[in-house]
Structure 1
């Protein structure tokens, strides 16, 4: 089949995150299965307009906002090329059904609902436009098309906050990391925070908690991995014991995470929280707030701890450290690895391929403790 994967960015874009990893893992595995795959996306400074990687043909064009119109203009003269288009919604979808023939299958891939986050990142008037496009316009545009969500939280948000009525299939993230050889946990408590440095990730909450945590755990250190528009502001207010690493290679990032006692994710909401699954694969539990996506990725009391929204983060992290220091670290590490082992990119790509062929996505037998229904694990 001829397939187009349309996504806001590619994994090599300086602002790439988990959504880009998801889209790329689907694309390259579909290409490996024999399909012709185009990955249509924005173009960052220094990136080639055309390139082929892992059998996937990349077409890059436009910036953060102009990419939407540019992609539709690119698709229009090629509208007869594609059998299926994966239209990835990163807050706002590409509205590809507007330029495609009715025979072309369109699958809208939604990571998480952005309605509450538009107000964090955009002026009030532009946030209102974003909510209108994400809500009523998207609902009408994709009403006859199938959708994919990455977690039950995303399904709930699509149904309740966007009024989505069409079929939604859950195809989760995978994980591809393994514990590096010879890495031991640090002697003193070590926290790690991994992700894009943007406002809704609320890294400030972790930074604010450090002084209180170091009163209880004097040798405690914190490593923050990632880059983004908040980086300079956060660097200017780092307390003692906190290191900001910026971008790290995958190998260096895995070694750093594997040596940590605990990952902390203070985000106000995710589609899933890929960093949680990656840390779990390395035997590292996560403390997070009980919000969309993270409540799916973290199994409270088994692979980490979920705090009520608005709870004191320092107290929550300190309680988790007490458990780990009390001899339960190996127990949590084993459960984390077992949970992460239930997810694989290959399994998710195979389920996406089934959906592309017009069949319901099969239940992820290895990925969940109960059979998958349309809207639940």
Structure 2
């Protein structure tokens, strides 16, 4: 097949996150299987306009907002060259059905519904416009096409909050974190937090919890790994015992996570929570709130702890530290082993070829 993946960013973009990992891990596997794959995305300062990586042709154009019309124009000129479009929605999709041929198969890939997050990042009028595009305009634009979601939470949110009526297939994330050798667990209580430093991740809640936790565990330390627009504000209020590492190479990140006792996610909602799966693959359970995506990625009482939204995070982490034992490590690794980028790529390939695919999530 001739496949084009359109995604807001690529995995080398300074603000790349789990959505970029998902799009790229699948794209490179499609290319490895012999398909012709283009990855069309925005261009960050210093990035080349066109390059090839892992057999995928990467084409970059535009910035945060201008990427949308530029990509549509690029596709319109080449509308006869592709068999399949994977239109990845990051709050707002690219509306590729407007410009490609009617017989081109378009799949709208949705990680999570952003309606409640637009207000955290945008002024009121622009947030309302974003919700309009994500809801009624998207629902109409993709009404004749199939969609892909990464979790049951996303499917439910698409149905209930966006009024989505067409077929939605679940294609789960895989896990590809490095497995460091000779890692010894920290001798002192150690927490780790992975992810982009943006408002909806609510990393400040973890910082607020540290002082209370250190009253009981004075030697407790916290490692925060990631970068984003909220980094400077968080650094300005770091409590004692917390280290912000920014970006880390994969092997260094894995070694740091593997030493931790518990991974913490304070996010208000995710499509899935790729960091949860990465931590689980290293035997580290997660404390998270019982919100979209994270309730799918964390098995309460087995691979971590789900806290009711509004719960005091310090108390939730304290419960986790008290209950933590080796069984969590074993169950975390077993849970992560169920997810594979190869299997996800194979499943999506079958959908793109027009084949019927048996439900995948229920078998897990």
The two structures share one fold, judged by TM-score above 0.5: yes
Shift in Å, 1:63: 0.1
Task: State which of 300, 309, 334 in structure 2 corresponds to 1:338.
Answer: 334
Shift in Å, 1:178: 4.6
DSSP-derived class of the 1:233 partner: helix
Q: Residues 239-254 of structure 1: matches in 2 within 5 Å? A: 239-254=239-254
DSSP-derived class of the 1:26 partner: helix
Q: Would you say the 8 A contact 2:175–2:281 is kept in 1?
A: yes
Q: Would you say the 8 A contact 1:351–1:362 is kept in 2?
A: no
Structure 1 unmatched runs, 5+: 372-376
Shift in Å, 1:179: 3.1
**Which residue pairs with 1:35 in the alignment?**
35
Q: Aligned partners of 2:126, 2:7: CA distance in 1, in Å?
A: 21
Q: Would you say the 8 A contact 2:178–2:250 is kept in 1?
A: no
Q: Aligned partners of 2:45, 2:296: CA distance in 1, in Å?
A: 36
Structure 2 unmatched runs, 5+: none
Q: Would you say the 8 A contact 1:178–1:281 is kept in 2?
A: no
Shift in Å, 1:323: 1.1
DSSP-derived class of the 1:106 partner: strand
**Which residue pairs with 2:53 in the alignment?**
53
Q: Aligned partners of 2:206, 2:176: CA distance in 1, in Å?
A: 27
Q: Would you say the 8 A contact 1:149–1:155 is kept in 2?
A: yes
Q: Aligned partners of 2:187, 2:131: CA distance in 1, in Å?
A: 47
Task: Give the paired residue count.
Answer: 364
| TM superposition score normalised by structure 1 | 0.96
Q: Would you say the 8 A contact 1:201–1:268 is kept in 2?
A: yes
Q: Aligned partners of 1:360, 1:12: CA distance in 2, in Å?
A: 34
1:24 equivalenced with 2:36 (yes/no)? no
DSSP-derived class of the 2:200 partner: helix
**Which residue pairs with 1:126 in the alignment?**
126
How much is the aligned-residue C-alpha RMSD, in angstroms? 0.8
Output one character per residue of 1:85-117: Cα deviation in whole Å (capped at 9) or x when no partner: 000000000000000110100000000000000
Q: Aligned partners of 1:347, 1:360: CA distance in 2, in Å?
A: 15
**Which residue pairs with 1:374 in the alignment?**
none
Q: Aligned partners of 2:166, 2:216: CA distance in 1, in Å?
A: 51
Shift in Å, 1:362: 3.5
Q: Aligned partners of 1:359, 1:260: CA distance in 2, in Å?
A: 43
Q: Aligned partners of 2:52, 2:40: CA distance in 1, in Å?
A: 12
